[in-house]
Amino acid sequence: MSERALWTANDDGLTTAYQLWKSPDNIAPFVLVTTIVHNKADLSVYLPETNQFFFDDVGGLDTDYYKVRATDGVNFSPFSAARRPDPVRPPTCIVYGKLLDLDGVPMEGVEILFHVVTTEKFKSGQFVGNTEVNAAETPAFADADGDWEIELMQGADVQINIPASNLVKRFIVPATDTAALVTLI
């Protein structure tokens, strides 16, 4: 699993870097994971909208604890409180489409059902990368123009079911920000 450690930028004008330390259970000794340079122009480690630096620990577990300390290159701040980070949200794709009847009239309010495909007896879902995806159906509804959209996890093996038009198709959610359903089935 991947864990994202986040901490607020220290804007004291002296901080040059941050050390990120990790413990598997907050009891075992903490070990240095990485040092992140205090560079707000580096968007691979900085989130300007929240004024936070981050590190995605690809080998991180949801039981790991992290703490951070700042440095000016010589001196170190006290450590932050140890905490578990929230898991990194996997990338998603907005799948969209339009529902019209044979006369070209929008099919407002029609339900479009999506669920991950599973071959397991108990329909427990599937793994996409290191993330388990629930097999429960997720609906989308056509608006007054017949347009609909749904956010799905990239890489998921998904089945769409539109009962009103007898459409049942299976597709893999692409690794793109958006995709028209007609290009996937």
What is the predicted pLDDT for the residue at 137?
Answer: 76
State whether 115 and 50 are in the same domain: no
Same domain, 54 and 96: no
Q: Are residues 105 and 158 in the same domain?
A: yes
Whether residue 53 sits in one domain with residue 115: no
User: Is the same domain home to 14 and 66?
Assistant: yes
Residue 178 domain-assigned?
Answer: yes
Q: What is the pTM of this model?
A: 0.54
120 domain-assigned: yes
37/106 same-domain check: no
Same domain, 105 and 178: yes
The CATH number that applies at residue 141 is 2.60.40.1120
Exposure b/e, 133-156, CB count within 10 A at least 16 = b: beeeeeebebeeebebebebbbbb
Q: Is residue 79 part of a domain?
A: no
Give, in degrees to the nearest 5, the angle at Cα 60 between 59 and 62.
145
Tens-place pLDDT, residues 22-66: 999 898 999 999 999 999 999 999 999 889 998 988 888 878 899
Q: What pLDDT, on the 0 to 100 scale, is given for residue 85?
A: 75
Question: pLDDT at residue 185 above 90?
Answer: no
**Number of domains making up the chain:** 2
Tokens (6 digits) for 58:
């690809």
Judged by DSSP in three states, 107 sits in coil
Handedness of CA 109, 107, 157, 89 (dihedral sign): negative
What percent of the chain is predicted at pLDDT more than 90?
52
Distance between CA atoms of 18 and 53, rounded to whole angstroms? 9
> What is the extent of the structural domain holding 25?
3-71
Let me know if residue 86 belongs to a domain: no
Is position 87 within any domain? Answer: no
SS3 call for 181: helix
pLDDT in tens, 60-88: 887 889 999 999 999 999 999 888 876 66
Q: Are residues 42 and 120 in the same domain?
A: no
Q: Is 76 within the bounds of a domain?
A: no
